Amino acid sequence: MKFFRSIRFRLAAWSALITGFVLLVFGAISTTLLFHEYLEMLDEEMDGFAEDLVDELEDEVDFTREDLVSLFDLFDDRDSLHLIAVVSPSGEIVFQSSRWKDFVLELDYDRPSSQQSVTRDKDRWRVWREREDGWQIFVGTQMQEIYGALIRTLVVFAIAFPLAMLLAALGGLLLARKAMRPVEAITSTAEEISVRDLDRRIPEKGLEDDELGRLTTVLNSMLDRLRTSFEQASRFSSDASHELNTPLTVMQGELEEALQREGLREEDQQLLSSILEETERLKIITRSLLLFSRSDAGNLQLDAQSVNLSETLKALVEDAAALDSAQELEFKIDLPESVFVTGDPVLMRQACHNLLLNAVRYNRENGWVKVSLNDNAERITCRISNAGPGIAPQYQERIFDRFFREDPARSRSQGGFGLGLSLAREIVRAHGGDICLEQSDADETTFIVQLPSRTDKSPKL
């Protein structure tokens, strides 16, 4: 079905339709002209025959009615293709062919033109009239041969028409394919350009100075502007995050020291604790933005090591179970003894921590959290599920967007700021894997993490 929606198919179809329309118009005009040409030839033939009859009349000086009848009988017998009728100046029918009785009665005497067409017994006849000294001589012949020739012409046209349509469609398809080849090359190259290789450009070599060449130049210019804008935004995000990290660290240290002083009033202590909490949130956001900017620029450096993913997940589950007190969650684990991946141990722990923290935060009381791990020959699969209320269908495609929160008020009260899932996905993708939402309904929400096995491919360094 994709082919039938392509420009190539539409060009081929239009070529066939236009060719068919032209052929139909040409066929109609040609058939009409051919019909009139046949009629003209037939009229000339009957005109010559009628003139022969007139010449015979002129040669007879004294003739009786019987002489005329005998004369025209002779012509009638000699030429079986024509019908003959003779009308005297007084309007008397002197002679008419025996093969067509009442022949003259069906003719129009007062017709100004010399030729006319008559239908008799479903047969079409062409009649020519010659006048001489008040006498009218009518010569008629069947038009069957004309119609037969036209039918044969139409049969040939009917056979040639679909073949011409097919050839036009094939020709249009070949021309469209040749014309679209540069577009396919542009599309293929543009699809391969990503955030990490914005320096790549669509090749302009071999393109002519036409619309496609101009399009390629415009797209490359647009990519230059996008790269410049992206580099500026990424550099600003990285520099801002880096510059904010130091004063935030200083502020955190000062606030912690201030909280340890004696003699603080209760309201001052609450105020400093609130400021310290917001400072810690800002530090987390700053570190996340720094990681995002490095990841977007393709500069996320990984300290590639052999990481025991089983032990990492087990330790994170134990920490979460120890900290959980209000919800009284049940933690279920299905972890093999030792599953190793090649990656950065700090970033891998952070990605897993974000997913597990998300499963704990968005859960219901007396709910459960389940963590499972599976290792096969090619992929390592980790599933983290919880008994949360589920994610609304209209939000499921946006949960990995940065700073997206389904319920901002609830997320902020639970300590979330909409970066955990997107940061986890960036880290996993930097290790050659991916994260997706496998299931989310009223009973269960499951995220699945897939990573390459140690024999599959190494992480991006």
46-101 per-position pLDDT tens digit: 788 777 777 766 665 455 555 556 656 655 555 556 677 777 777 777 777 766 66
pLDDT higher than 70, residue 254: yes
Three-class SS of residue 417?
A: coil
d(CA 257, CA 273): 11
Give the residue from 35, 47, 37, 38 showing the smallest Cα distance to 139: 47
Look at residue 435 in the predicted model and tell me its pLDDT. Answer: 93
Structure confidence at residue 458 as a pLDDT band (50, 70, 90) = very low
Averaged confidence pLDDT in the chain? 78
Give yes or no for a contact between 192 and 40, defined as CB atoms under 8 angstroms apart.
Answer: no
Strand partners, 416: none
For the record, the structure tokens of 130 come out as 């010659």
Structure confidence at residue 459 as a pLDDT band (50, 70, 90) = very low
pLDDT higher than 50, residue 20: yes
Domains present along the chain, CATH in parentheses:
3-149 (3.30.450.20), 211-296 (1.10.287.130), 305-452 (3.30.565.10)
pTM as predicted: 0.51
Look at residue 19 in the predicted model and tell me its pLDDT. Answer: 87
Question: Would you give the DSSP letter of residue 62?
Answer: S
Look at residue 448 in the predicted model and tell me its pLDDT. Answer: 94
- Summarize pLDDT for 307-347 with one digit per residue, the tens: 899 999 999 998 888 776 666 788 999 998 888 988 888 88
Look at residue 384 in the predicted model and tell me its pLDDT. Answer: 93
Q: What mean pLDDT comes out for the span 247-274?
A: 80
- Summarize pLDDT for 347-404 with one digit per residue, the tens: 888 889 889 988 888 888 888 999 999 888 778 999 999 987 888 888 888 888 877 8
Look at residue 461 in the predicted model and tell me its pLDDT. Answer: 42
Look at residue 456 in the predicted model and tell me its pLDDT. Answer: 43
- Tell me what percent of the residues of the chain surpass a pLDDT of 70: 77
For the record, the structure tokens of 380 come out as 């390592």
Q: What mean pLDDT comes out for the span 227-254?
A: 72
Strand partners, 331: 369
Q: How many beta carbons lie within 10 A of that of residue 314, not counting itself?
A: 15
Match 């901002």 to its residue by tokens: 408
